[in-house]
Structure 1
Amino acid sequence: MIVISQSQFHPQEAAAATAGSPDSPTAPSPTSVDSATLCRPVTRARDSALPPQLDGIRGLILDWDGTLADTHQARYRALTQALSPYHVALPETWYRQHAGLPILDLIALLPKPVPTARVRAASSQLLLHHLQSGRLRPIPVTLALLQQAHAAGLPCAIASSTSLSLVTAGLSALGLLDAFQAVVTVEDVAQGKPAPDVFLEAARRIGVPALRCLAVDDAPDGIAAARAARMNVFTLSTDQTALVRPSKEVITP
């Protein structure tokens, strides 16, 4: 099993990124990532030695929610509140299993029909408020991998099931808008995860063959999508302190 530990993250950045819960009203506002440093021109040759986890890789593609940004609780609360007027309970265990799906697909799986457009709009508005509240935090180990990829001169992209407006709002809040050559969301493709479309489009936009891309996704549907795209795949450990190769037993629910 290949593991990237949180120890590879710069200590001062780890302290800023992990202090307090991302959903706690008393959590201090996080320090934005220094995107000027992260994104400064790289002078290292592309064929120079890479960190072991990036060996043979020519492009990095990250999921957004739950992979680069610690948004799980905020997204769960937002959808729960949006469903409340329609008396639909949303068990968190069920939500975790389906969190990688586009929200329209997730709503379609609910046991009781609800007005999809209204629920989606309400949930998105609540989530946007969280993203702009100053409480959003990156996941340190994924940010460390992004820094390593930039240091190696690799192009990077986002491949997300979330809408473009929410992803860009979150990247802006973290100071990472300039860290990615492409941001691909469910709005850009015919099918969302677990179909491979969003990962394949991200690879196309950064000009790297899918087989030479490393994809990182925290959800079963995202892992399935990256595998279907024939990419190398990492996922987060349960405690979010390491990136590991997902077991072959991880399948789409």
Structure 2
Amino acid sequence: MTAGRPPGAVLWDLDGVLVDTETVLFEAEREAFASHGVTITPEFKRAFVGLGGDEVMAAMADALGVDVDLADLGRRKMAAYAAGLPFLRGFAPTAALVRAFAAAGVPQVVASGSPREAIAAGLHVVGLDDVLTAHVSAAEVAAGKPAPDVFLEAARRVGVEPVDCLVVEDAVPGVLAAKAAGMRCLAIPSVVDPLDERFERADLVVRGGMAAADPEVLLAWALGSATMRG
């Protein structure tokens, strides 16, 4: 995607970008680990933001040095997550962007590390399931973020070359995955203090996170009518 040319497709991360899931996800993961006698904290979890559902549980277990049944851990996490669905909220800036891209006729796909059922449930709760009907889960590809697989599969499904795709992400693994896929990336960090220097690999970084995201400015940049670096 070159300057002055709108994206052929927009590929959305889900958690922390379209749906404010981090609190609910952490509580689900905390309960899952607690069932195995392991305690995790928000500070511990911060290092794993942006990894996919199965991969994040495996990475946390490995970091903790505990031997647990990952399949059972995953089932417990998803059960606790389902119980927390009513507490999910969306983000006004990205919801506005989704609808603006839809109005402009730009294809959009959700490409997430979450399972397909979690993607569908989250979009339904925040009222975006009528627009974002195409989903790809990292469970459907060989490797999750920071590997590029989920974004490459999303591009393939809508028939758009990777270079013509714009990825919207909140976490470093997603930014790295987007760039590995050869795609443009808009980063709206979910953790802004301190800001991980690897966010600089994105084409545009909203340094203040979602609170500083102006959908009109971001839309103008994405559609090629503005050039800027945040």
Partner of 2:83: 129
CA offsets per residue over residues 16-61 of structure 1, 9 Å max, x none?
A: xxxxxxxxxxxxxxxxxxxxxxxxxxxxxxxxxxxxx994312111
Give ranges in structure 2 of 5+ residues lacking alignment: 193-208, 222-230
Give how far 1:240 is off.
1.6
Q: What amino acid sits opposite 1:96 in the alignment?
A: R
Q: What amino acid sits opposite 1:241 in the alignment?
A: A
2:61 is the alignment partner of 1:107: no
TM-score, reference length from structure 1? 0.70
**Within 2, Cα distance between the matches of 1:140 and 1:54?**
26
**Within 1, Cα distance between the matches of 2:99 and 2:4?**
12
Q: What amino acid sits opposite 1:75 in the alignment?
A: L
Of the three residues 212, 216, 231, the one matched with 2:168 is 216
Flag the 1:54–1:139 CA change in 2: closer, same or farther, 3 A: farther
Of the three residues 125, 136, 140, the one matched with 1:173 is 125
2:13 is the alignment partner of 1:63: yes
SS at match of 1:177: coil
Q: What amino acid sits opposite 1:128 in the alignment?
A: A
**Within 2, Cα distance between the matches of 1:235 and 1:128?**
28
Aligned positions of 1:48-59 closer than 5 A? 55-59=5-9
Partner of 2:199: none
Partner of 2:210: 240
- Report runs of 4+ in structure 1 exceeding 4 Å deviation: none
Q: Which has the higher helix share?
A: 2
Q: How much identity, in percent, do the aligned residues show?
A: 34
CA contact (8 A) 1:54 1:149 kept: no
**Within 2, Cα distance between the matches of 1:188 and 1:198?**
8
Partner of 1:27: none
Partner of 1:185: 137
2:71 is the alignment partner of 1:117: yes
**Within 1, Cα distance between the matches of 2:68 and 2:166?**
37
Report the aligned-residue RMSD.
2.0
CA offsets per residue over residues 97-131 of structure 1, 9 Å max, x none?
A: 21211232222222212121111111101111222
SS at match of 2:210: coil
How many residues are treated as equivalent by the alignment?
Answer: 191
Give how far 1:181 is off.
4.7
SS at match of 1:87: coil
CA contact (8 A) 1:141 1:242 kept: no
**Within 1, Cα distance between the matches of 2:166 and 2:46?**
23
Partner of 1:38: none
Q: 111-120 or 91-100, which moves further after superposition?
A: 91-100
